[in-house]
Structure 1
Amino acid sequence: MDENSPVFVISTAAELAGMHPQTLRQYDRIGLVSPGRTLGKSRRYSMRDVAKLREIAQLSGEGVSLEGIRRILNLEDEVNRLRSRVGELETALADELLNRPGRRVFAAGSAGDVISMRAGTRLRRQNAVAIWRPLEHK
């Protein structure tokens, strides 16, 4: 079963989260947790929704207001989206470096700055370190 599959009816999700079903309805109304819906408009919760409900209960128990909880959840979602995007960019960069080996050369200066250089050029400074990957011969 996928953690995003909406399979739990409200009473089961409430029991799993340790809450009253009316609390889940309130959280749905204010947008803290948005469960899936059946054709008959009944709520269906996923394991991810139940985990979010448990997190809400923990934050609420620590004295965080519902508006504070909403902001925390939104920030966590944004961090997850950004991490995913960074992973995509790292993969794209790695693919680009593998597809065009030897095209870019970088040097590190004494102050820690990165200098982009054309292949085949040398540094004028004696205290800089050049970093490159040799071309693979096939």
Structure 2
Amino acid sequence: MQREGDDEAWRSIVENFGERAELDDEPDSSSTASPEPPTGQDPYGWAVAPEPDEPAELAEPTPAYVEDEDTYVPPEPPPLPVPEPDRGIAWAGVVGAPLLLLVSLLFSIGLPSWVGYLMVAWFVGGFCYLVARMPKEPRDPWDDGSRV
């Protein structure tokens, strides 16, 4: 059970909590029209853009893109390197043979068994050839692969 002095203290704290707003004049309740905001502001206090002097149809349109004379034009890229013919055939076997077998399987294209064996041999032979042509010595340990 709280004491009477505690209740009175809490009541005074609640009544005097925070600063009270100072109101200039109370608006008449008979007036139903809301006051007009000052020019250049909306009712919420945000600034409003001024009305244009010219009508929209007379104003000159601004171009969406203005081309600079000093634009950067990158140099032509070098042509794509063409692999050596033997490596190209090996890569075609590693990538192309499984794709051809997958397409023939998806579209239910019947292949003779010797064509299937030839594609499997092309894949295995191309993979073994590419592994055999890999460099034998390790890369430079200080080379992080970036080029300038």
TM-score after normalising by structure 1: 0.21
Structure with greater strand share of residues:
1
Structure with greater helix share of residues:
1
Larger radius of gyration between Structure 1 and Structure 2: 2
